[in-house]
Amino acid sequence: MVGSGHITVDVELADAADDNGVAAQKVVSLKRRNEYASGKVAIVSGTCSQIRVSINPASLTYTDAAGNPVAFSGVRRLVLQAEPGAFLYRSFFGFPYGCSMGEPCVVSDFTPDTLPVGGYSIASTSVTSTASFTLVIYGT
Amino acid sequence: MSTVRGRVSVDVQFRDSTTSASVQSLKTIALQDATEHEDAPSGFPLKVVVLSGTVGTSEITVANFGSTASYAYKNAAGVVPQFSGGYVDGVAFSYTGGGANLRCIEEGTVEKFKIQSRLNRVAVDQGRHFIPELKLQTFAVSGDTVATGSYRIVVWGL
């Protein structure tokens, strides 16, 4: 069980211009930190080709601090980091849920209290190369 | 002419601990990344656009990156930025209500991602997408009945 945790996304881009000595700047930002004091967490790592690798949150090999396998009944958030790139799919045949090409993608599940049929799956963005991935799953 | 520079970071950390027979076990899961963004080595300048407004249950097209006419955001020079390189390299999305999904469509029909935000949680996709359209609508989640809410989307690319 999670004792404490957080997921933070922080985007800040500065846009500057100089027109005949008049400097203008816009700062674009979108930041959110969500704290979690309960729930379950697991991490799944591996490699994949363009053929999808299936991940079933109800049946993972990852074990918690007590040594018990972590089994989810619902997934709230997913964070995928893949090199050189991979898509995260909802269910084995579903639409792409997000894409990481080196930098992480962070998504919420559409049905946080129930698991998608078939779980999730991950596939390389490239037809010619495999991808290595790390997926963090947070839920209940 | 404006110059865009910036940083996108994701920080995930969870602590999972248990105590049994006076032995404490602790596992920490962490995933952290911070990427600095600037102009591409190929010469295409980095662009950023902010899209905001309200959305309901009917899907709306919030931007088409093949056309600067589809969004109103102006950069520091007062010009609507054009993604002349054709690539969107990241999308961060926040929605105030019970749930909304943002779809990224390439070539009119190919769905490249569908990310959800609810209750101001920021979703971010950092894949590379070619001249996409972004479409948005609210989504019913677990009994939430909020059908209209405010959104904010930050898009960066070349």
For residue A20, what pLDDT is reported?
83
* Coil vs helix vs strand at A118: coil
Q: What is the CA radius of gyration of chain B?
A: 19
Question: What mean pLDDT is reported for chain A?
Answer: 93
Asked whether the whole model's pTM tops 0.95, one would answer no
List pLDDT tens digits, range A38-64. Answer: 999 999 999 999 999 999 999 999 999
ipTM value, please give it.
Answer: 0.90
Q: Helical H runs in B15-92?
A: none
Instruction: Answer whether B15 sits within 8 Å of A5, measured CB to CB.
Output: yes
Q: Is B98 on the interface with A (CB under 8 A)?
A: no
pLDDT at B141: 67
Low-confidence ranges of chain A (pLDDT < 70): none
DSSP assignment string, A33-80: EEEESSSEEEEEEEEE-SSPEEE-TTS-S-B-TTSPBP--S-EEEEEE
Total Cβ atoms within 10 A of residue A34: 18
Enumerate the residues of chain A whose CB falls inside 8 A of the CB of residue B10. 7-10, 79, 103-104, 106
* Best B1, B3, B18, B29 residue to mutate vs chain A (most A CBs within 10 Å): B29
Residue A2 and residue B31: Cβ atoms within 8 Å?
no
CB contact under 8 A, A17 and B2: yes
Q: Look up tokens 């591409």; give the residue.
A: B40
pLDDT in tens, chain B (158 residues): 789 999 999 999 999 998 888 888 999 999 999 999 999 988 899 999 999 999 999 999 999 998 877 899 999 999 999 998 999 999 999 999 888 999 999 988 889 999 999 889 999 999 999 999 999 999 776 666 667 899 999 999 99
Measured at the CA of B66, the angle between CA B60 and CA B70, to 5 degrees, comes to 40
- Which residue of chain A is at minimal alpha-carbon distance from B30? A136
